[in-house]
């Protein structure tokens, strides 16, 4: 056990999706079942704007030590959204 205050426990998303599909449209009611999920980190995120809502697959914590460099897939990048959160876009 360490005293690292940045650790957290989250439920994993383990499914049979083998191909990276970051950026693909997904159904948030399926609880991320359509999204590629290395190490259980794949999620369906919903974004809202003046044009309405849209949901896309992403990988949370893509900068976590041990996460493969290819976790975000070709043409995508791991972006830090704040000090404690990063995801593939």
Domain ranges of the chain: 28-88
Summarised one tens digit per residue, pLDDT across range 7-17 is: 556 678 999 99
CB-CB neighbours of 9 under 10 Å: 5
The total number of residues written for the chain in this structure: 89
Summarised one tens digit per residue, pLDDT across range 18-51 is: 999 999 999 988 878 999 999 999 999 998 877 7
Provide the whole-model pTM: 0.81
Per-state percent for the chain, helix, strand, coil, to nearest 5 = 5, 30, 65
């Amino acid at each position: 056990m360490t005293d690292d205050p940045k650790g957290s426990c989250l439920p994993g998303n383990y499914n049979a999706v083998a191909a990276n599909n970051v950026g693909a449209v997904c159904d948030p009611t399926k609880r991320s079942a359509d999204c590629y999920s290395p190490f259980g980190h794949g999620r369906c995120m919903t974004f809202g704007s003046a044009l309405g809502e849209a949901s896309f697959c992403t990988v949370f914590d893509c900068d976590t030590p041990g996460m493969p460099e290819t976790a975000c897939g070709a043409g995508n990048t791991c972006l830090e959204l704040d000090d404690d959160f990063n995801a593939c876009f």
